[in-house]
Chains A and B, each alone.
Chain A
Amino acid sequence: GAGVSQTPSNKVTEKGKYVELRCDPISGHTALYWYRQSLGQGPEFLIYFQGTGAADDSGLPNDRFFAVRPEGSVSTLKIQRTERGDSAVYLCASSLMAGRNTGELFFGEGSRLTVL
C-alpha cells in the first residue's frame, strides 16, 4: 500500500473485553513502532519491532498489553481485560531501518479505542 494502514479506525468496547488493533506497515520497512496518544498528550512509546522480534517493549504499561509481528510485516496489538484508562488513539509507525539510521517514522492514521 501507499502508506501505513491501521484497522479498525475506531473501536468502542466495554470494560473487561479483549481487543486487537492491526497495523500494516509500508512494504519493506523492517522497523515497526506502536505508540499510544491520549488527549492533549504527545505519542507515548509502547513497543518497537525489528523484523519479527520485539526489540524494545519497555513502554507496554502492564501485562494486559501484548504485540506480535509473526512474519515481520503486519503487527497486532492485543489488549486484554480493557479498562477505561486504555481509551486513546493507538498509533503505528514504520521505518525503513532502526530509528537513528533514518530518523523518519511513517505513521498510520491511528486506531481510536474507547472503553466504556
Chain B
Amino acid sequence: AQRVTQPEKLLSVFKGAPVELKCNYSYSGSPELFWYVQYSRQRLQLLLRHISRESIKGFTADLNKGETSFHLKKPFAQEEDSAMYYCALILDNYGQNFVFGPGTRLSVLP
C-alpha cells in the first residue's frame, strides 16, 4: 500500500525559529509530492510541489528518494505560518489519486 506519514501531530516553535515538518512516503516508484496547507477558517490549498523546486512564503521542500522523505522547511517561522500542513503524493503509474498524510498542526508562538 502507498502511504504518507507525518510523524508529528503538533509542532510548536517560537517566531523567528527554524521549522521543519516531516513527511515520509512509502512507494517504490517515482512519486510526485506536494505540500498542502489549511489556514484557520480557510480552504485546503496547495503550498508547493517538488517538481517546481520553488520557494513559497519562505518554505522549501526537497525530495530525498534515498530516505523517501519530503520534509518542509522554513528558516524563520512567522506567526501567520500557523496552520495545518498536509503532505501528499501522486502515484506516477496512475497519476490521478492524491494520497494525503494525516497532517501536522504548526503553531508559531510569539
List residues of A whose CB falls within 8 A of some B CB. 3-4, 31, 33, 35, 40-45, 48, 50, 55-56, 58-59, 91, 93, 98-101, 103-109
Contact = CB atoms under 8 A, between A and B. Distances in A.
Given A42-B103, A100-B90, A91 B97 contact: no
Interface residues of B, number: 25
Nearest to A31: B96
A48 B96 contact: yes
B20 interface: no
A98 B95 contact: yes
Contact of A3 (B32, B43, B96, B100): B43
A107 B43 contact: yes
Interface of B: 4, 6, 9, 32, 34, 36, 43-46, 49, 51, 86, 90, 92, 94-103
Given A31-B96, A99-B90, A105-B46, 6 more contacts: A43-B44, A56-B96, A59-B97, A91-B44, A98-B96, A105-B98
B96 to A, nearest CB: 5
16 contacts: A3-B43, A4-B43, A40-B9, A41-B102, A42-B86, A42-B101, A42-B102, A48-B97, A50-B96, A56-B94, A56-B97, A93-B44, A98-B96, A99-B98, A100-B32, A100-B95
Contacts of A99: 90, 95-98
Contacts of B99: 45
Nearest to B103: A42
A109 to B, nearest CB: 6
Contacts of B92: 100
A45 B95 CA distance: 14
Contacts of B32: 100, 103
Nearest to B34: A103
B83 to A, nearest CB: 14
Given A45-B97, A98-B95, A100-B92, A109 B102 contact: no
A52 to B, nearest CB: 15
Nearest to B105: A40
